Amino acid sequence: MGNPLQWAKECHSEIVAFRRHFHQHPELAWEESETTAFLKEQCAKAGLAVRALEGRTGLVAELNADRSGPVLALRADIDALPIQEESTSPFRSKVAGKAHVCGHDTHIAMLLGAMQIMARQKDLFPFPIRFLFQPAEEVVPGGAKAFVEAGFLSDVDEIFGLHVTPQLPIGVLGTRAGPLMASMDRFEVVVTGRGGHGAMPHLTQDPVPVCAEIILALQTVVGRRVDPLEPAVVSVCQVEAGNAFNVISQEGRLAGTARSLSAAVRKRLPQWIGEISEGVSKAHGLKATVKYEHGTPVLVNRSASVEKLIRAFRSLGGREQDIPATMGGEDFAYYLEQVSGAFGFLGAGSEAVRHGGGLHHPQFEIDEEALSWGAALFVQLALDRAGK
């Protein structure tokens, strides 16, 4: 019957061309109109039925939509980042300030390649296969939540997703059962005092030193309130106050991210951040207003699905690597709250790209040999499900 990796290598140049097209034409979250139009065209050529969010970007394509049976879903995210690419590549981004420096262009290309391979041999698959080309992974709330709310997973039995990484070599898949990626929440603290002249601080209620104290005190959330065996992060990443060097501002603002790998810890983080921020402010006679926004949940891989992912990759001649959980977030987590599935990191590093940057870096780079591996893995997952 052949090996999916061989099939993918036979159409490798086409998959690479897809990737380079998307790389040159990046679009930000919820703006992926040209990307969506291109995908719709490719799906039509492959003879697949297509659905989309009303008035929004992204689409869902289905192979063997007329067949009954449990639906297998495969996902790729399609949005780029608001980063200026620093590359001398002939296919670098043509759009100033926007770039595919998280590998989503490769994710689209791999899933398109897999879709085309399976469409040519659709009789091998006696069940429906759904391809999710999801918008807006990089923002909160992202496209995964919208896809779930639209009912695109209502009849799905199992789902798989991949993310390329130059930190692993070609032919290696990194994954693990259980929590793999952290919840990703946002908080904002506004400290309100009384402004005035910088030369007369005794006549003001200065929010700036209070903000500084809150920043330091928030470090005790992880250091003294979270169980030392439970990973968690509380990072203040934005600080704003005033617009003149000699004027004490009436207001100071902090914003940051709170993350964990435990639903129980995540539930407590808003309380702890609020208590500290409000308590420090009150001690100085000022007021703090805390806003906490829940973003993506913890990404929890199902053990049985991880075993399938690993078994499929081994069938291609690859090897797996058990990797530690990361505090990075990924909205694939919304899918795994609904159905069984697994997410893995596909090795895309080599000597040829070892001087490039990592995820979200202006010099992000991957070895395009990884594209065949990713497309083949999606195909192998479907073949295994079909018992081929």
At 32 the pLDDT is 98
- As a whole number, mean pLDDT of residues 22-39 equals 98
pLDDT tens figures, 47-61: 998 999 999 999 999
At 2 the pLDDT is 67
CATH superfamily of 4-180+298-386: Zn peptidases (3.40.630.10)
Closest CA to 91 of 17, 153, 159, 39: 17
Backbone angles phi, psi at 204, to 5 degrees: -120, 175
**CATH architecture for segment(s) 184-296:** 2-Layer Sandwich (3.30)
Query: Per-residue confidence at 258, pLDDT binned at 50, 70, 90?
Result: very high
At 1 the pLDDT is 57
Using an 8 Å Cβ cutoff, are 285 and 191 in contact? Answer: no
At 5 the pLDDT is 96
Give me the residue spans of the domains in the chain. 4-180+298-386, 184-296
At 205 the pLDDT is 97
Structure tokens at 62: 């289905």
Torsion sign across C-alpha atoms 6, 369, 309, 319? positive
pLDDT tens figures, 87-104: 888 999 999 999 999 999
232 vs 355, which has greater pLDDT? 232
341's torsion region: left (phi>0), alpha (psi -120 to 50) or beta? left
d(CA 259, CA 296): 10
pLDDT tens figures, 71-82: 999 999 999 999
Using an 8 Å Cβ cutoff, are 378 and 114 in contact? Answer: yes
d(CA 78, CA 376): 19
